């Protein structure tokens, strides 16, 4: 059984040049060791350690030592730090700032989630402050987390920061107690609009309205009910422009902070089948698509929030939803765990929607970065293997890889996919299918040429396009060498002029891959056209249509200036 005065801190060093970072503080010894082993498995080149810490009241500090280490980097105690500890928050009032509240949310997340409250409520409800002060373990673990983080980037010791932060906490608790005695009772009002109007008229309104909102939220049982209550407040704003803007701003701050908690967000989104459905709902809310299909099965609060965004209301909450969208895009979980291809299809749709909806709150660069990160996961060997499973043949496998290319973001990801395709083309499976497979050689060459054309139309780099085209051409040459199809054509009983036309049609008609395959056919045709038999036949009036067609085919095969320039760039 875990002791209330003991906790275990898990640290991770991802690689040799990285710094040790505190991942989590846990009361249970076995849970802390299990987490350390999971971190080590996810970061095989990294190092982990677990420290046991016990609170010593007489020293007002934690004491302990390392109970587990794994990895090449062993922790060594730093030299004694003698610098002076300093904090950006100098007074209890400074804790009400956005950055300080975010720190409170992060280090007290467990306690806040259990009590279903947000930092703004905690800071403006003295009863909650008293409850937290009575919870030594939660409070001191939070103090320790902040102290360690601050000490890592300064010349002051963890102990110095613990003393400084404890002093600030004690001042905060004392001020909360004084505020209870000195605080005016909130004005009597029938609704939120009247309440905020009166508080605004009385002056020094921000702290008073925040306290009034926190007290009203105390009547709600959980995050879900509180989210609905805050939307009700925003529906009931004062008519006076100044008071209305003031009340809307404070309601927005509470709501944004509420939805920064996973529990509140899940309650608003409702039950979802997978991460894909969750991000679809988040996207619809962000877009302001209250009546869209994505929110048909979502709770009413989700549609209400979407309506607010459609009206350009709640800007801070809109920013928070944008953050949650980016977090979901970067999450390790799959959108559609049951199907890679459905995952790819959804990623494409989401990218299109989010780029249209992007703006200051959801910057396109951030979206590109997030989708690039997710694209890399789709190229993991197990994901690619799953995407290609049950393909009829190697050609369908390459077509599926092209479908992935349509949805990948990032040059490195495109290059990795191109390497996969080249690998497939160089496999014995490709040789068996294209070189000695069923069907006529020309049918197999046509399919190979279509796949080559798809590579050239894609968004691969110029270098990868050149390499892919050459690889397809190499396979095509193997087909020609094996089948002798061009030799059989030139050795047929047809007139030389007809043989030349047939060869040029193969080269220009999408049957032969571009490169040596089409060049071979064209060279054979030119040798035939230079012969006496072809020249004599070309002079006959009845062959005028054939000559015209041959001239058209030769024009089509002649490289255009732009193509020549691209070829020179690729070669150079």
Q: Which of 360, 92, 98 is nearest to 252 (CA)?
A: 98
Roughly how many angstroms between the first and final C-alpha of the chain, as a whole number? 70
At 433 the pLDDT is 94
Nearest one of 145, 116, 112, 147 to 24, comparing CA atoms: 145
Total H helices, total E strands in the chain: 29, 4
Residue 85 neighbours by CB under 8 Å, 6+ apart: 150, 151, 154, 156, 157, 160, 161, 163, 164
Distance CA 57, CA 80 (A): 22
pLDDT in tens, 1-18: 345 567 888 889 988 888
Q: Report how far residue 144's alpha carbon sits from residue 61's, in angstroms, rounded to the nearest whole number.
A: 9
All structural domains of the chain with their residue ranges? 6-70, 88-183, 262-378, 497-508+519-572
DSSP state of 359: B
Alpha carbons 325 and 319: distance in angstroms, whole number: 10
| pTM of the predicted protein model | 0.73
Closest CA to 20 of 7, 8, 10: 10
Q: What is the pLDDT of residue 271?
A: 93
Give me the chain's average pLDDT, please.
86
Rounded Cα distance between 343 and 371, Å, is 12
Which residue is associated with the tokens 């006076």?
240
Phi and psi at residue 51, to the nearest 5°: -115, 135
Residue 74 gets the label, from left (phi > 0), alpha (psi -120 to 50) or beta, of beta
What DSSP character marks residue 392? S
For residue 91, with 0-12 CB atoms within 10 Å meaning exposed, 13-18 middle and 19 or more buried, which class applies?
exposed
3 state DSSP class of 362: strand
How many Å apart are CA 26 and CA 21, to the nearest integer? 15
- Residue 534's contacts (CB-CB under 8 Å, 6 or more residues apart) are 495, 496, 497, 500, 528
pLDDT, tens only, 132-164: 888 767 777 777 777 777 777 677 777 777 777
- Classify burial at 59, counting beta carbons within 10 Å of its beta carbon; exposed 0-12, middle 13-18, buried 19 or more: exposed
Tens digit of pLDDT per residue, the chain (572 long)? 345 567 888 889 988 888 888 888 788 888 889 999 989 888 888 999 998 887 766 665 667 778 888 988 877 655 566 667 777 766 767 777 888 888 888 888 888 899 999 989 988 888 888 888 887 677 777 777 777 777 776 777 777 777 777 777 777 777 777 776 666 677 788 899 999 999 998 876 788 899 999 999 999 989 999 999 999 999 999 999 999 999 999 999 999 999 999 999 999 999 999 999 999 999 999 999 999 999 999 999 999 999 999 999 999 999 999 999 999 998 888 899 888 888 888 988 998 899 898 888 899 989 988 888 888 888 888 888 988 989 999 999 999 999 888 778 888 999 999 999 999 999 999 999 999 998 899 999 999 999 999 999 988 999 999 999 999 999 999 999 999 999 999 988 899 999 999 999 999 988 999 999 999 999 999 999 999 998 998 899 999 999 999 999 998 887 644 344 444 444 44
DSSP lists the bridge partners of residue 65 as 52
The residue among 349, 347, 326 whose CA lies nearest residue 335 is 347
499, two tokens: 């043989």
Dist CA 449 CA 457 (whole Å): 12
């Amino acid at each position: 059984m875990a002791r209330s005065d003991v906790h275990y801190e898990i640290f991770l060093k991802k690689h040799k040049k990285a710094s040790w970072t505190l991942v989590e503080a846990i009361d249970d010894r076995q849970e802390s060791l299990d987490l350390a082993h999971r971190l080590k498995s996810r970061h095989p080149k990294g190092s982990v350690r677990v420290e046991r810490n016990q609170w010593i009241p007489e020293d007002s500090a934690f004491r302990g030592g390392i109970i587990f280490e794994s990895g090449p980097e062993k922790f060594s105690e730093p030299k004694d730090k003698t610098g002076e500890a300093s904090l950006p928050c100098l007074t209890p009032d400074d804790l009400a700032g956005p950055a300080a509240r975010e720190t409170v949310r992060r280090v007290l997340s467990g306690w806040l989630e259990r009590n279903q409250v947000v930092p703004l409520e905690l800071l403006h409800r003295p009863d909650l402050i008293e409850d937290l002060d009575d919870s030594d373990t939660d409070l001191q673990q939070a103090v320790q987390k902040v102290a360690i983080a601050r000490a890592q980037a300064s010349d002051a010791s963890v102990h110095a920061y613990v003393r400084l932060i404890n002093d600030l906490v004690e001042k905060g608790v004392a001020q909360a107690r004084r505020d209870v005695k000195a605080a005016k009772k909130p004005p009597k009002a029938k609704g939120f609009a009247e309440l905020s109007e009166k508080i605004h008229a009385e002056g020094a309104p921000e702290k008073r309205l925040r306290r009034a909102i926190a007290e009203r939220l105390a009547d709600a049982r959980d995050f879900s009910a509180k989210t609905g209550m805050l939307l009700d407040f925003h529906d009931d704003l004062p008519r006076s422009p100044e008071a209305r803007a003031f009340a809307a701003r404070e309601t927005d701050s509470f709501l944004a902070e509420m939805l920064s908690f996973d529990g509140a967000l899940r309650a608003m989104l409702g039950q979802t089948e997978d991460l894909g459905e969750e991000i679809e709902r988040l996207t619809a809310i962000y877009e302001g698509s209250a009546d869209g299909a994505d929110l048909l099965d979502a709770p009413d609060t989700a549609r209400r929030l979407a309506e607010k965004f459609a009206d350009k209301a709640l800007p801070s909450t809109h920013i928070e939803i944008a953050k949650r969208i980016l977090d979901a895009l970067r999450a390790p979980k799959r959108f559609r765990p049951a199907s890679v291809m459905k995952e790819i299809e959804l990623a494409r749709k989401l990218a299109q929607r989010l780029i249209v909806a992007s703006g200051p709150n959801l910057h396109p660069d951030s979206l590109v970065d997030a989708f690039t990160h997710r694209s890399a996961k789709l190229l993991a060997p197990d994901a690619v293997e799953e995407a290609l499973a049950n393909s009829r043949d190697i050609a369908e496998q390459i077509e599926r890889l092209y479908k992935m290319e349509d949805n990948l973001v990032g040059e490195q990801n495109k290059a990795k996919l191109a390497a996969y395709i080249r690998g497939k083309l160089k496999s014995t499976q490709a040789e068996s299918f294209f070189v000695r497979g069923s069907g006529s050689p020309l049918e197999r060459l046509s399919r190979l040429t279509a796949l080559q054309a798809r590579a050239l139309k894609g968004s691969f780099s110029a270098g990868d396009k050149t390499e892919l085209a050459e690889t397809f051409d190499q396979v095509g040459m193997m087909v020609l060498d094996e089948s002798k199809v061009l030799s059989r054509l030139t050795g047929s009983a047809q007139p030389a002029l007809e043989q030349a036309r047939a060869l040029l049609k193969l080269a220009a008609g999408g049957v032969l891959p571009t490169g040596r395959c089409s060049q071979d056919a064209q060279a054979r045709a030119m040798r035939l056209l230079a012969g006496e038999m072809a020249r004599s036949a070309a002079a006959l009036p009845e062959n005028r249509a054939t000559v015209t067609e041959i001239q058209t085919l030769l024009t089509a095969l002649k490289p255009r200036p732009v193509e020549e320039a691209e070829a020179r760039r690729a070669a150079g």
